[in-house]
Amino acid sequence: MEEYSDKVMDHFAHPRNTGVIENPSGEATVGNPTCGDLMTFYIDVDDNDVIRDVKFKTFGCGAAIATSSMITEIAVGKTVDEAYKITRKDVAYDLDGLPKIKMHCSNLASDALRAAIDDYRAKKAKKEENA
């Protein structure tokens, strides 16, 4: 597949869940050293470890925007453990495919989501330590 699917174009043109969550349960910024693109993910998690909301900000290419948008839709309603397992292949599949040379862009989205979950887990562990 070397062209963008309609779904990729739709998520690129109308990205879902862009923005910032104030006082998020977890947040993280990751960058792709090859292209220099940057992605920040924010998650809001309830007491049962279920992701209530995800938002992202990106300074990245169209595929990075589309994959971020897609992964936010996949992640909402999942537990953090389930969301941690979302792979770039899952994202590409839900987008009806991505050109091969753009697959690395979907790494950025899943890496950023995982890093935000890591941040959430670290904060939660600290809270429990101090409880």
- CB 105, min distance to ligand FES, A: 3
Q: What is the 3-state secondary structure (H, E, C) of 47-106?
A: CCCEEEEEEEEEECCHHHHHHHHHHHHHHCCCEHHHHHCCCHHHHHHHCCCCCHHHHHHH
Cβ contact 99:4 at 8 Å? yes
Residue 22 structure tokens: 């104030």
Q: Which is nearer to ligand FES, 15 or 60 (CB)?
A: 60
Which residues, numbered 68-87, are part of the site for ligand FES (CB under 6 A)?
none
Mark the segment that binds ligand FES (CB under 6 A) among 10-18, 29-37, 72-80, 86-94.
29-37
Q: Which is nearer to ligand FES, 108 or 117 (CB)?
A: 108
Tokens 């040379």 belong to 101
- CB 94, min distance to ligand FES, A: 17
The answer to whether 105 contacts ligand FES (rule: CB under 6 A) is yes
The answer to whether 15 contacts ligand FES (rule: CB under 6 A) is no
User: Is 105 annotated in the active site?
Assistant: yes
User: Is 35 annotated in the active site?
Assistant: yes
* Dihedral of the alpha carbons of 36, 20, 112, 5, in degrees to the nearest 10: -80
The answer to whether 63 contacts ligand FES (rule: CB under 6 A) is yes
| Positions marked active-site | 35, 105
